[in-house]
């Protein structure tokens, strides 16, 4: 189960860094939108992205969620991608996140491959 602090930050209009491991073992981090359910941090991406391919190879990740009102307040979640959600649920989730961050649905012209939600379980 996620802590209340992680849940509060993940449900707010806060950005996160997602760190994955490349096939050669080098870490790589990207700034991402973030969400959560009761037990998992959720990251929405496209299946052609390097981050998606990285977690297919090695599911270990780190997510650092930074409070937009106070960047010295953050939460770090070290975990594993334990599930990937595809299809309409992933596409709808992208719209929900775009609504939170930009006040509008996700622009379909920006989608170049299928959407996927990475469900990350804390270690």
Phi and psi at 113, nearest 5°, equal: -155, 175
The closest of 4, 8, 11 to 100, measured between CA atoms, is 11
pLDDT-derived band at 106 (thresholds 50, 70, 90) equals confident
Q: What is the reported pLDDT for 91?
A: 94
Q: What is the reported pLDDT for 107?
A: 79
CA distance 100 to 120: 20
Phi-psi region of 41 (alpha: psi -120 to 50; beta: other; left: phi over 0): beta
Q: What is the mean pLDDT of the chain?
A: 96
Pairing of strands 41-46, 115-122: antiparallel
Q: Name the class of domain 4-122.
A: mainly beta
CA angle 34, 9, 39 (to 5 degrees): 70
Taking only the tens place, the pLDDT of each residue in 21-74 is 999 999 999 999 999 999 999 999 999 999 999 999 999 999 999 999 999 999
Q: What is the reported pLDDT for 97?
A: 96
pLDDT-derived band at 114 (thresholds 50, 70, 90) equals very high
Q: What are the extents of the domains in the chain? A: 4-122
Chain centre distance of CA 119? 8
CA distance 94 to 105: 8
Task: Please compute the mean of the pLDDT values over residues 73-98 and round it to a whole number.
Answer: 97
């Amino acid at each position: 189960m996620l802590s209340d602090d992680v849940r509060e930050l993940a449900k707010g209009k806060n950005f996160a860094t997602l760190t994955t491991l490349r096939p050669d073992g080098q870490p790589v981090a990207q700034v991402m939108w973030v969400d959560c359910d009761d037990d998992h941090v959720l990251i929405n991406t496209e299946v052609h992205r390097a981050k998606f391919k990285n977690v297919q190879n090695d599911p270990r990740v780190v997510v650092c969620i930074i409070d937009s009102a106070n960047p010295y307040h953050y939460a770090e979640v070290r975990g594993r991608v334990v599930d990937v959600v595809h299809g309409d649920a992933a596409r709808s989730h992208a719209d929900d996140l775009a609504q939170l961050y930009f006040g509008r649905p996700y622009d379909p012209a920006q989608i170049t491959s299928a959407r996927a939600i990475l469900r990350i379980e804390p270690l």
